[in-house]
Chain A
Amino acid sequence: MTAILPPSDRLWWKHPMDRQETIWIIISFIWCMVMFAMMVGWHFFGKQNLATETYKVDPAAFAERAEAFAKKYTVRTETEQEVPVVAPPEGSDVYMIGRLWNWWPILELEKGKTYKLHMTSMDYNHGFSLQPINLNIQVVPGYEHVIKVTPNESGTYAIVCNEFCGIGHHEMVGRLYVK
């Protein structure tokens, strides 16, 4: 019962290793290095990397910019709340507000074009969860996160909030179109 008794060699770090353990450690170590390389390598060879461009932001100032943006590019409104559907040109700055309890506005993007998406929260933490493709990004109040997005498939997408943000959390859902 040596695991609950003092080891037979006082100098346990001199205890010999079994060949089997040595081999397993080498294999595991190599696998760990492969996984490490994948994360670094994806930044060079992969297309899906979260940008780290972030600014400290005052929610009111952000809302002002978002409203100006929506006003400029609104093409129609949807639902009883008349949520604007905003179709910005390629390469432009696109704004998205998360707040209790909606995502605003509805965006209409084009397939294969790249946009600079600015996101923040007006109040609590929210979770930007793009469905059905299942891309998930944290939205933190006071921080403006800027991500270049390139939709690669057209369709109607939902933005579900997946960070608990209070009693109406499950009602917080928005929409996004890709033409």
Chain B
Amino acid sequence: MTVSTTYRTCPRSGLQFEDQAEKLIKANAFTAIVALLVGGILALGVVLTRWPAVHLLSADAFYMVLTAHGLDMLIFWMIFFEIAVLYFASSTLLRCRIATPRIAWAAYWLMLVGAVINNVAVFQGESSVMMTSYVPMMAHWSFYLGLVVFAVGALIACAVFFGTLVVAKREKTYEGSVPLVTFGAMTAAIIAVFTLLSGAIILVPTLFLSWGLVQNVDPLAYRVIWWALGHSSQQINVAAHISIWYAVAAIVLGAKPMSERVSRGAFLLYILFLQLASAHHILADPGVSTEWKIVNTSYFMYFAVLASMIHALSVPGAMEVAQRARGFNKGLFEWLRKAPWGNPVFSSIFISLVGFGFLGGITGVMMGTEQLNLLIHNTIYVPGHFHATVVIGTTMTFMGMTYFLVPVLFRREIINPGLARLQPFLFGFAMYAFTIVMMGAGTLGVSRRHWDMAFNGNALAYEWPGAAYLMMGLVGITGVIAIIGGAVFIYLVVGSLLWGKRLDGGKVSNTFTFLNRAAPSAPLQTYGSAGFVAPGTFVLTMIFLLTFILYYFVNWKYLGQLWGLS
């Protein structure tokens, strides 16, 4: 090859970083953390306002801060980090050079410029339209421009990822098929392309509308297509963070997927069905047929839910098999008790996995059910649910990954390891409590995106039950604790980058080392035997299933008592 570059082999992880890819991963991951910091500060404004006893911000400041919080967290923090993950899963895991590094940098700058334009638009105050910005409610044109520029950048970055897969294949840097983690990242990238194109389809005409070049964008069509962007962007997160779960299980415990066929098959189901989930947001809307709702919101007969349930068994199952192979074989749960709970990389991922499944997964399916949606549509239950999926699921996973990347990629030792050991528990459990009380308040009817639940001064005011006030007070308290947990994370990461002990970078060479396929190992050959290889996990998944069934039917029972509608 004529391309001259260098490859660094990390002495701690054995991973090999190509020079340009390494810089790109660092830049994207670091920018993501900055977005997380901004979003975290804004979160404080949001929870302190929704805490009825505090009620900090004025109405216009609250709606502005809420808009910025949503965008910085859901779009900028996550997608920047995902681009870093894509480069990692392609260039680093396949030990190849990154395709078109210059274009990858252009993508990075476009994304950054777009994010800044969008933030400036929001903070100028004329764009408090929330994440969802439904027409005909209009934001300042620069709001849409920022999003479009960002999306173009992200789309180019996805193209670089696919290009890098081609480079690896052509330059024969590895043997056999791509690793499972790369396969999962590919799923995320495919969903990302679909998502970003949907965004272009709807945000470009809206940008023209804000310039007066287009006369009308249909409000219902906007909602349907917007959600093809809005919900699917969460599906990029799901595919990305599940890939990282597999990666961390491999890195920390040396775990192997129980079956490559099963895990990859589940990712394929995501590609085929996950995007249909965007219809969940249209369930209480007029103008859409029942058949359309049922087909789409069931992700076509729940095949994407099936995929998630498969991962719910195979990720912890893989961990259990690895731990048992290590001798933690006593009883059902010794493997779990003796897991490396003091390692924040592992604990973040495990807390994420359990919370994502129980709190995010179950509630997501419940609220995504055509009729049950009537119970919680637009209540604060919805942000309760998606904080369980994107914060406990994605953000915590990315935090865990960052703990891994600080020494391996940034070559710094984590400062204050005691605090680092504690942080996932503090943040994770505060987030568990936060999402539960939010869902509790939503079940009682409290609205989302609502400045004053007391309706002060309103002649027709409605008084929420006392329990709703209690729940919202707890939302404030648990929210503040979670923000402290997030602040500790930022302190640890930024502190480590600034003051952490410099670590040895390892050998640098001009060529990559060829990546051999994994050796078939003993447990692999015992597959298909009569015994269960991961009985503890099976018990856990049965508990999960029972909780799921119970919660699902409790909601149907409740719905059955309400007014008749037809």
Residues of A within 8 A of B (CB): 1-21, 24-25, 27-29, 31-33, 35-36, 38-40, 42-43, 46-52, 54, 78-81, 83, 106, 114, 123-125, 127, 129-145, 147-153, 158, 160-167, 169-171, 173-175
Q: Which of A2, A39, A132, A153 contacts B445 (CB 8 A)?
A: A132
Q: How far is the CB of B368 from chain A (nearest CB, A)?
A: 10
Measured between alpha carbons, how far is A175 from B283 in the docked complex, in Å?
Answer: 24
Other than A18-B527, A124-B137, A164-B129, give 6 A-B pairs with Cβ distance below 8 A.
A2-B256, A16-B261, A18-B258, A19-B529, A52-B287, A129-B378
Measured between alpha carbons, how far is A23 from B559 in the docked complex, in Å?
Answer: 32
Report whether A80 and B177 are in contact in the complex, using a CB–CB cutoff of 8 Å: no
Report whether A18 and B259 are in contact in the complex, using a CB–CB cutoff of 8 Å: yes
Report whether A24 and B313 are in contact in the complex, using a CB–CB cutoff of 8 Å: yes
Q: Is B4 an interface residue (CB 8 A)?
A: no
Measured between alpha carbons, how far is A170 from B49 in the docked complex, in Å?
Answer: 13
30 contacts between A and B (CB under 8 A): A1-B250, A3-B255, A3-B256, A4-B250, A6-B176, A9-B260, A12-B261, A16-B528, A39-B298, A42-B370, A49-B566, A50-B370, A106-B460, A114-B564, A125-B219, A125-B223, A127-B447, A133-B563, A134-B445, A136-B375, A136-B378, A138-B282, A138-B378, A140-B285, A142-B219, A143-B220, A158-B462, A161-B447, A169-B449, A173-B461
Report whether B365 and A35 are in contact in the complex, using a CB–CB cutoff of 8 Å: yes
Which residues does chain B contribute within 8 Å of A145, judged by CB atoms?
286-287
The answer to whether residues A4 and B378 also contact, given A13-B264, A131-B445 and a CB cut-off of 8 A, is no
Residues of B within 8 A of A (CB): 59-60, 63, 93, 128-130, 132, 134, 136-137, 174-181, 218-220, 223, 246-247, 249-251, 254-262, 264-265, 282-290, 294, 297-298, 301-303, 305-306, 309-310, 313-314, 317-318, 365, 369-371, 373-379, 443-445, 447-453, 455, 458-462, 464-465, 515-521, 524, 527-535, 537-538, 541, 545, 548-549, 552, 556, 559-566
The answer to whether residues A4 and B247 also contact, given A138-B378, A143-B220 and a CB cut-off of 8 A, is yes
Which residues does chain A contribute within 8 Å of B374, judged by CB atoms?
48, 50, 135-137
Q: How far is the CB of A109 from chain B (nearest CB, A)?
A: 10
Report whether B524 and A8 are in contact in the complex, using a CB–CB cutoff of 8 Å: yes
Q: Which of B290, B303, B531 contacts A49 (CB 8 A)?
A: B290
Q: How far is the CB of B12 from chain A (nearest CB, A)?
A: 14
Q: How far is the CB of A82 from chain B (nearest CB, A)?
A: 11
Report whether A137 and B450 are in contact in the complex, using a CB–CB cutoff of 8 Å: no
Measured between alpha carbons, how far is A115 from B549 in the docked complex, in Å?
Answer: 34
Report whether B559 and A158 are in contact in the complex, using a CB–CB cutoff of 8 Å: no
Q: Which residue on chain B has the smallest CB distance to residue A174?
A: B460
Q: Which of A7, A80, A173 contacts B260 (CB 8 A)?
A: A7
Report whether A32 and B450 are in contact in the complex, using a CB–CB cutoff of 8 Å: no
Which residues does chain A contribute within 8 Å of B310, judged by CB atoms?
21, 24-25, 28
Measured between alpha carbons, how far is A17 from B443 in the docked complex, in Å?
Answer: 41
Report whether A2 and B179 are in contact in the complex, using a CB–CB cutoff of 8 Å: yes
Q: How far is the CB of B277 from chain A (nearest CB, A)?
A: 14
Report whether A162 and B130 are in contact in the complex, using a CB–CB cutoff of 8 Å: no
The answer to whether residues A21 and B317 also contact, given A6-B179, A175-B460 and a CB cut-off of 8 A, is yes
The answer to whether residues A21 and B258 also contact, given A1-B251, A134-B444 and a CB cut-off of 8 A, is yes
Q: How far is the CB of B174 from chain A (nearest CB, A)?
A: 5
Measured between alpha carbons, how far is A170 from B451 in the docked complex, in Å?
Answer: 6
